[in-house]
Amino acid sequence: MNRTNILIFLLCVMLGFGIIIQGKTTEGQMLYVSAKTITDYKTTIESEKIEIEKTNNLIKETGKEVTLYESSNTDSADLLVSNIEKERDLYGMFSGAVDLKGPGVIVTIDDGVRPLFEGENINNILVHDADILIVINDLKKNGAEAISVNGERMVETSSVICSGYTVEINGVRYARPFTIRAIGDENRMASSLIGPEGYGASLKNWGVLFEIELSDEIHIPAYTREKNYEYSEKVKEVEAL
């Protein structure tokens, strides 16, 4: 066998090994793995490694917390429970899930009783949902920490909608008068509503009955209805990034 034949034989052997390495046999057919597929596999593997690392770190942190809880003395355990209770109460206040009390204002709005001018629309002296909403927004703007209307706690899903001669508040119909309670800086809230540019002063000028009372202790009930989030869900950390 001459030198040329030997080289050709070696090239054929190397080519055969290359084909074996690059492909795999499935049901008797040779399938080739592209460079993109290999890259995708590598990316997936790296992502899984990162997730595994995050999970392991979470396990370690949780283990440390468990060890801390188990080794805590009575005073430390009491402090831990106290902090958890404070956080629970704070979240309950934010969400409207607990009853609240504190200084604030009591606003009463009712339909006017003055005689109508000739040709005047009676709606000018009636209380509408827009009037209640404007007062609520004004109270929020001036630091109200909690608000109720006719005993209905106002939360992020609350609604105030006119329904004939009544107003639906959180889906329940209420007739006049409407009593709005708000906890916060009573002087600031009252001044905003009854000042020269305040909405309360405007309602009075139109003939709607508007009264505001300052109180050292306002009681506002919790929001007791179930909150359903049908379309919303928490964004995962990976998605947020």
Helix (H), strand (E) at residue 217: strand 209-220
* Confidence at residue 26, expressed as pLDDT on a 0 to 100 scale: 44
Please choose, from the candidates 154, 166, 171, the residue with its C-alpha nearest in 3D space to the C-alpha of residue 221.
154
Report yes or no: 187 and 112 within 8 Å, Cβ to Cβ. no
CA dihedral 189, 190, 191, 194 (to 10 degrees): 130
Query: CATH class for domain 97-220?
Result: alpha beta
CA dihedral 203, 208, 214, 220 (to 10 degrees): -100
* Confidence at residue 92, expressed as pLDDT on a 0 to 100 scale: 67
Which mean pLDDT values do the consecutive 10-residue runs of the chain (241 residues) have? 56 58 49 64 77 82 74 63 68 77 96 89 90 95 94 91 90 94 95 92 92 96 83 72 51
The domain segmentation of the chain, as residue ranges, is: 97-220
Alpha-carbon distance of 47 to 33, in angstroms, equals 21
Tokens 């057919």 locate to: 29
* Confidence at residue 73, expressed as pLDDT on a 0 to 100 scale: 61
Report yes or no: 114 and 160 within 8 Å, Cβ to Cβ. no
In this structure, which amino acid lies at residue 51?
A: E
* Confidence at residue 142, expressed as pLDDT on a 0 to 100 scale: 94
